[in-house]
Chains A and B, each alone.
Chain A
């Protein structure tokens, strides 16, 4: 608070100062501001000014554009005593007193910043991944690495550091980039929160962990408000590596200094590889200062290799000393080689450089970590003497890996297995640690696949002597805290939540007395992992697969016998006090379900209890209480099947706060899921701060108030008739409320507008950025007029167009862009009843037709399709008419016959028919027959007829399916097998519960799968994946969408599966891209105008791409290029970046636009680009604008556009489009240059030629202009002046037409001239014609003027090189 204190001392408004002094409490907005001023862009006087200008100008632009006014913005910075005064004025509609706080205090008005103070103490270990390898780093260490300055602050972290982060909607954990490191001072209380399974984290009181609400939603729980018994969300399944490793290169894990003086060699290099060492220079020098002879060395990559050794040994035998290999960095080149070492006594041992991570090797690692130690030349593992089997296995393993001999030394109580092989020993020592307390899991273990990790874990426990203890528990004890932490994390990668605890003075640890041992245990079914350990009793489901009963407190009807329940329906009922055990609860479940289905339920005792609990009413019907309970149960059911589970808080203790606390920013999978994982003992998820974000003008108001003590002064005039009003705005830093006072009424020359005046501590060090910002704003807003005054400069940026940017329209979401969570919310909120109406109402680009397509796709998913069959022909045994006749009774022969015949004939007309189609055929026939014969064909008759007809149509399912299956499988398949598959598939349809032959795609897959399995078994024919898929697809094609009404919106809201099916149907359906009038492209024309306005270049090009869509968000990319002229030629081209017409001025390097600029080969377009990639050089300005409803930024700070391939592609295309124009311009320049040079030479030669010719021929001197013009394909303008008239002849000697403006400047008044404009200026008459002469043609202009007149011709619109004026 020192900065602020000093501000107060130096004076300022007393009232404000008092208020500020009052507000020194930790929660004050002022302190928040102080802590976060770097994030807010006010961390230095220079930057503060830029930020304030930026915010004020953005505000002004918004205000004017919204009102459809061409912006006229005035920015002035002036010195005012010790401070700087910033004035920003616009000609917007002005604001009223009521609007002032909303406009200038709007962000502070809310409480968006409060969450920022949450932080962790410095030694909290966080789980991060860097270059694919997993690390546990204390948060303080990580952040300090990026925060170079002392004190509080924020610093960006490069993209390559990732942390596990869970999606609050789906509870899926993924690796997400960490964007910022944050450190600040705190006097906030800190707490250590401990959960069951022995996990803990130390955080500030307002730092959140996560929990789940009774409705299944993820909630944030402040550490300071947690109490034991609360359940916090914890990672159950940490994300696995995307790419796994299956071998390890030993050399990479041996340090060069360890190899020094140690005779380890790498054998097996190709001569070709080694020969590279000779390829560079050779030096001669003394091997050491005292040696008297100089020796020759090859130098390769700076590594010196003694030539004698190389030529006589290395290259001959194909080896190098291991030390040299490391120095050269040739570990990868050596991957197929072997490490050889010689024992004293001569026998060589060899170890491959690359060791496969197979079970044996992982066992060795596991045993070593548990029991091993490594010396310089040997690995020793100590086992209890009874562990014979383990000793043998270990010996065998060491032998297999190293091929070296092992010795077994029997001691009193133990057996030592010694394996020789120095490289292996070094490797183990390095990757696993060499003493009990430093033992750790090698990094590559975290990158292995699941099976290997499990083999490793098993070996670790085995080596530790653990077996499944009674009670189905596996326990691993170590004095290495790191190892325990890693092991717990490894378990989490297997989806197992291990339990950690620390044991002081553990028994049985001779020599380790006084130390702490860390125990990692797993229980129950988890023990069975990797098939190594057996369990001896039936295991219950794990506690962490259970949820606390407290979640059901609100709907509870009675005491629960337990405080943790499985997340099944019976379990949840139990939690609500329904039933006394899971078995009871299951009975209750079925009763409740029946009751909810509208049945009258009856079961002694149970129903009585349900009525007692008021879940059923006296009529045995569900009550509102039951419905509420049921809803909660539905939400919570299956909660732990995600990557997260719930652990109960066991203790919350206050701790002594450190001076600084830390946080990192992890935006998470959708940018708002800020959280990461702490692993002190085992993984725990914690929430994190948001990164830097745009704050708005209010921060500038606060900054000026804090630094100068003066309120912001706002002047506003809402219309020309009105008087201007001046307000003073201060922000009450205690309550965070803006305070506005009307200071006076005043006059203002502007008809309307707003003016803000801020006085602040500042300096002009960021002058360049200020000017850049204003200039870029002018480029991108060519419709705006900007004026900028600062103590040393005054710039005016005039308007280049009167065209306001097109007004953007708000659009509804596009069906391809929504997520399930959003969809559910929208479904819950809509007023539509039907899904069709919902889609058309709530989404863009959905009309009746699209809605119908989506609903068809949804029906296919929701109800399945119905199979269609070929109706039997008249001659076939299965006779529809006969069957129907048979099934119809009491309708009289005639009517029955007509009814049956109609049905049979209608069906026979069909190519294929499905059940529901038969239903409608029968209904039509019944109506018809009923009418004709005045008989009633009732429901029963119809049903019988349908059944009969369906029976007839489905008698030959096999024959029906055979051609389909045959067509979908290859010709090579055995006919009997195809027939077999068709028959079995037919049986699946026949045997299905659904007699309508209705099946979803998944069910059909299952049918085909089972039929194919059976066929493989019996008919000795294989049906591979593809064959099966083909059959499924072919059958699915013949199936038809059913006419059932899709569920109503209300039903889908309740049914997550149905909603997911609905979402899938929307995504699968082709839907027109979203409209783009919601975007605000500048347009190519205005991009060019903007550039032209601010850059005095020779050439301008611009391109606007068509709108594209990225994840449902439309976007448009524009690019512009200015080249040559006054653009500085030295150094890189200037890159201007804009997102939604706002200049991006920071983090150039992190922006994907820059990446795209760098990856284009600019040489193709005539720009200089050293090396053919990277930033182009030369006098060029490159502008990129991305407009989107949702521009993806790399972080909340919105300084850089994130790498989205679709957007990058468009940026590239836009740039290339503009660059092509540049190229043709440059080519033209080059050809003009060539022409100029040609002309220069010819202008020299031709007169000489002419002179010589006159000499030789003795004739008059020649005029050669005509010839010259003709040679240059030029336009030649010649004048003939006679008494009567002036004639201008224009000859176009080129091949293409020439159109230009020709002005004859005449010293006498020519009067009116036909086809020309005549303007008199300072006694001269400008006679101007538009001339257009086709290639090879000639034209002439005649006008009258006094023949005393003097003339001067000027031509515009054609390059001067191309014109020869002879007049």
Chain B
């Protein structure tokens, strides 16, 4: 993308923000109570979008109105934030979510200041929703850095210090290439990879890299690091969409890890409004499957109550309403066990790269 494209995009974001403010202005002027309608972000309000194959927000909305002291305060904050973002775009600066939280301290009206960072984070999401502009386009960055990629991929990144060409095996250290906050600034130059393997834990990623899995199988190893950041998911989607690489997700065998897979494949509830932009519905789940725990007789921990609850809640989660998941989750509830990725080490350090992954990926038709 060219500089001008970006300017145009920024201008568009600015306009959207001012439109929002104007809407409030009009409401006041008409003697009405200022309010805004926000889609509800809960499990019950996400629907499967047949067209895109991802889960998006449904029709249910809630109204935030200046009617109540609470609502009025929220709206006041929205307006202050709008003004801030608008100015940031105008000045072509960026800031982090955390900076926004601290920055509000300097605002002249104490009712406009944020009580905690959750509040400011949520407000940004609200503004994304109402304005239809992504956070990245507001130039808002999350605090944490993006995850890392290792594999036969050559890219060009637009950095603040100019464009950089990077090969994600040759030009990087053991740690791999770090994904920037806005992966849309990346151009793909060349790719020798056959598929993408997203790995949940750092330990497993390191194991794969050490064993040379990326080399042996021409694979892009993407470290998810728990719930993947937006940037990681966005990059994965781009790699899949733009380079046609199949995506496999390799996590622990517990309910929380299934959600990690879920957010990669179907989108998360929190960012369901951006699912089309972030989710890769074609992503496949490698494991650890509950079935694997039994089949490989993996070392395991008993399910805690919270695990059971999470599994049961997943059974009701629209994103997991597939035969595969129902079968696996039911199985796990039956055996009452969970296992980590590293549990495979019980069969030797190379078991995962020599045995497990090749077999699973073959079954899945990726290899």
Contact = CB atoms under 8 A, between A and B. Distances in A.
A1241 B28 contact: no
A1253 B79 contact: yes
Interface in B69-116: 69, 72-73, 75-76, 79-80, 82-83, 86, 109, 111-112
Interface residues of B, number: 29
B28 A1250 contact: yes
A1254 B21 CA distance: 9
A1249 B69 contact: no
Interface in A482-524: none
Interface stretch (B30-38, B56-64, B128-136, B149-157): B30-38
A1271 B32 CA distance: 9
B25 A1241 contact: no
A1270 interface: yes
Given A1242-B72, A1252-B83, 19 more contacts: A1238-B68, A1238-B69, A1245-B73, A1245-B109, A1248-B111, A1249-B34, A1249-B79, A1253-B21, A1253-B28, A1255-B83, A1256-B86, A1257-B22, A1262-B29, A1266-B31, A1267-B27, A1267-B33, A1270-B32, A1270-B33, A1271-B66
A829 B91 CA distance: 113
Contacts of B76: 1245, 1248-1249, 1252
Given A1249-B66, A1249-B79, A1271-B33, A1259 B25 contact: yes
B174 interface: no
Residue in B22, B29, B76, B86 whose Cβ sees the most chain A Cβ within 10 Å: B29
Interface of A is mostly: helix
Contacts of A1246: 66, 72
B69 A1242 contact: yes
Contact of A1245 (B27, B31, B111): B111
Given A1256-B86, A1267-B31, A1262 B112 contact: no
B18 A1264 contact: no
Contacts of B3: none
Contacts of A1252: 76, 79-80, 83
B159 interface: no
Contacts of B79: 1249, 1252-1253, 1256
A1256 B22 CA distance: 8
B67 interface: yes
A1244 interface: yes
Contacts of A1266: 31-32
A1275 to B, nearest CB: 14
Contacts of B18: 1256-1257
B24 interface: yes
Interface string A1222-1256: 00000000000000001001101110111011111
Contacts of A1259: 22, 25
B4 to A, nearest CB: 25
B21 A1257 contact: yes
Given A1257-B21, A1271-B66, A1249 B29 contact: no
Interface of A: 1238, 1241-1242, 1244-1246, 1248-1250, 1252-1257, 1259, 1262, 1264, 1266-1267, 1270-1271
Contact of A1267 (B17, B32, B69): B32
Given A1249-B72, A1253-B79, A1267 B66 contact: yes
A1144 B22 CA distance: 71
A1248 B79 CA distance: 10
Nearest to A1248: B109
Nearest to A1254: B25
When A and B form their complex, which 6 residue pairs have the shortest distance between CB atoms, in order from nearest? Answer: A1266-B31, A1256-B21, A1253-B25, A1245-B72, A1241-B69, A1262-B28
A1244 B76 CA distance: 11
A1056 B72 CA distance: 86
Given A1246-B66, A1248-B109, A1270-B32, A1257 B25 contact: yes
A1270 B29 CA distance: 13
A1253 B68 CA distance: 19
Interface string B13-54: 000011001101101110111100000000000000000000
Interface in B160-188: none
A1244 B111 contact: yes
Nearest to B112: A1248
Interface of B is mostly: helix
Nearest to B79: A1252
Nearest to B80: A1252
A1336 to B, nearest CB: 14
A1249 B32 contact: no
Contacts of B66: 1242, 1245-1246, 1249, 1267, 1271
A1256 B111 CA distance: 18
Given A1245-B111, A1270-B32, A1253 B69 contact: no
Nearest to A1238: B69
11 contacts: A1238-B68, A1241-B72, A1245-B73, A1249-B66, A1252-B83, A1253-B28, A1262-B29, A1267-B27, A1267-B28, A1267-B31, A1267-B33
Contact of B67 (A1248, A1256, A1262, A1271): A1271
A1271 B67 CA distance: 5
B126 to A, nearest CB: 16
Nearest to A1250: B28
Contacts of B28: 1249-1250, 1253, 1262, 1264, 1267
B220 to A, nearest CB: 44
A1264 B76 CA distance: 14
B15 to A, nearest CB: 12
A471 to B, nearest CB: 95
Contacts of B29: 1262
Nearest to A1242: B72
A1245 B66 CA distance: 9
B339 to A, nearest CB: 51
A1256 B112 CA distance: 15
Nearest to A1234: B69
Nearest to A1266: B31
Contacts of B75: 1249
B254 to A, nearest CB: 46
B77 to A, nearest CB: 10
Contacts of B68: 1238
Contacts of B83: 1252, 1255-1256
Residue in A1245, A1249, A1264, A1270 whose Cβ sees the most chain B Cβ within 10 Å: A1249
B248 to A, nearest CB: 47
A1254 B86 CA distance: 14
Contacts of A1264: 28
A1053 to B, nearest CB: 82
Contacts of A1244: 111
Residue in A1242, A1252, A1262 whose Cβ sees the most chain B Cβ within 10 Å: A1252
Contacts of B82: 1256
B24 A1249 contact: yes
Nearest to A1265: B31
Nearest to A1237: B69
B257 to A, nearest CB: 44
B21 A1267 contact: no
A1257 B17 CA distance: 10
A1270 B79 CA distance: 21
B17 to A, nearest CB: 8
A1245 B80 CA distance: 12
A1267 B26 CA distance: 11
A1271 B31 CA distance: 10
A138 B155 CA distance: 117
B225 to A, nearest CB: 38
Contacts of B86: 1256
A1256 B21 CA distance: 7
A454 to B, nearest CB: 74
Nearest to B110: A1244
A420 to B, nearest CB: 69
Nearest to A1291: B31
Contacts of A1262: 25, 28-29
A1256 B34 CA distance: 15
